[in-house]
Amino acid sequence: MDNNINAYNSILDLVGNTPLIKLNRITEGLTGNFYAKVEAFNPGHSAKDRIAVHIIEQAEQKGLLNADSTIIETTSGNTGFSLAMASMVKGYKCILAVSSKSSPDKIDMLRSMGAEVYVCPAHVAADDPRSYYEVAKRLHKETPGSIYINQYFNELNIEAHYNTTGPEIWKQTNGNITHLVSCSGTGGTISGTARFLKEQNPDIKVLAVDAYGSVLKKYHETGEFDHEEIYPYRIEGLGKNLIPKATDFNSIDRYIKVTDAESAHMARKIAHSEGMFVGYTSGAAMQATIQYNTEGEFDKNSNVVLIFPDHGSRYMSKIYSDEWMQNQGFFDAKNAESPKEIQY
């Protein structure tokens, strides 16, 4: 510390070392002990801070970046925010191609953090020139001195979690973790964390959360890419319409699919029961855990760690808006006439 002042050198020093917090009430009726790794405690409010810092710093070490460099990425929002934050601190320009499915608050936040944002249609094929992948690739080609983060196909995404999330959980549970429940989008979080944990104890069960409308579960089970599995869904950041290279399918024991409606209600219930204001996919992870519990796979000695990827503030115009929930028909699933009838 300079001048004997107790301060961090920059906000990036606060990435990682997120707390593990016991879940006390939402787990009523479940067998075992349940803990959430709450990634909203990262300074950019999501797990993606870890990969943003790691990938940029690896590029710096390889000499790929200079003062005028541009960081380019496709993103559902969280990775973009983390990259924009890291680029701002380190002095790089940041260009992001995002899906039109991303919440408007997320897009505004990216722009607030100084990023240049291109909004691309969500429901086109990945190889369509309008898709956010193709737009990002084109911008990378057209921008000299840029690097393309390419989180779905970048091994460093896995490495970031192998180096940090995995060891943190191992230490926080004193090696007593029995199950990991993590959403699978790029697959970086689950693959890196699982790889580290299984190296310590191969008996740890790794459960991946997938969305209805995504190909991941079927691919894991059959090795087949089934186009029939693909259709639009609401949850952002979970599941995929392609097979990401950043997913190590061998590190995953089981995929569990969750619905848009149940995941949304579960996120709201986490806020109401645990006082944790978390994002849509945290609800998905909790929902998957409850579904898995019905199979009798947990016992009283199970120590289950769920990764809660981001903060609820990113979903004010979505799952935390009664109007949005009603428009999706998500209250119908609960047989409620109005939001006021829902008791979490």
Residues classed as catalytic: 48
Q: Where are the alpha helices (DSSP H) in 243-320?
A: 260-274, 280-293
Helix crossing, 155-163 with 48-61: angle to 10°? 110
Question: What would the x/- binding string for ligand PMP be over residues 127 to 166, using CB under 6 A?
Answer: ----------------------------------------
The minimum distance between CB 282 and ligand PMP, in angstroms, equals 8
CB 324 within 8 A of CB 318: yes
310 is a site residue for ligand PMP (CB under 6 A)? yes
186 is a site residue for ligand PMP (CB under 6 A)? yes
Of 220-239, binders to ligand PMP (CB under 6 A) are: 237-238
Q: What's the half-sphere exposure (Cβ side, CA atoms, 13 Å) at 133?
A: 14
At 206, give phi and psi (nearest 5°). Answer: -115, 115
Q: Which of 74, 164, 178, 189 binds ligand PMP (CB under 6 A)?
A: 189
Q: Which of 43, 44, 166, 187 binds ligand PMP (CB under 6 A)?
A: 187
The minimum distance between CB 324 and ligand PMP, in angstroms, equals 17
CB 178 within 8 A of CB 207: no
Which residue number, 284 or 325, has a Cβ lying nearer to ligand PMP?
284
What is the separation of C-alpha 316 from the centre of its chain, rounded to a whole number of angstroms? Answer: 17
Which residue number, 274 or 310, has a Cβ lying nearer to ligand PMP?
310
168 is a site residue for ligand PMP (CB under 6 A)? no
Per DSSP bridges, beta strands 93-99 and 20-22 are unpaired
**Structure tokens belonging to residue 44:** 């950019």
Closest residue to ligand PMP, judged by C-beta, is 237
> Each residue of 302-321: b (16+ CB within 10 Å) or e?
bbbbbbbbbbbebbeebbbe
Q: Which of 113, 115, 181, 183 binds ligand PMP (CB under 6 A)?
A: 183
The minimum distance between CB 306 and ligand PMP, in angstroms, equals 12
Instruction: Give the residues lining the site for ligand PMP (CB under 6 A).
Output: 76, 78, 183-190, 237-238, 279, 281, 309-310
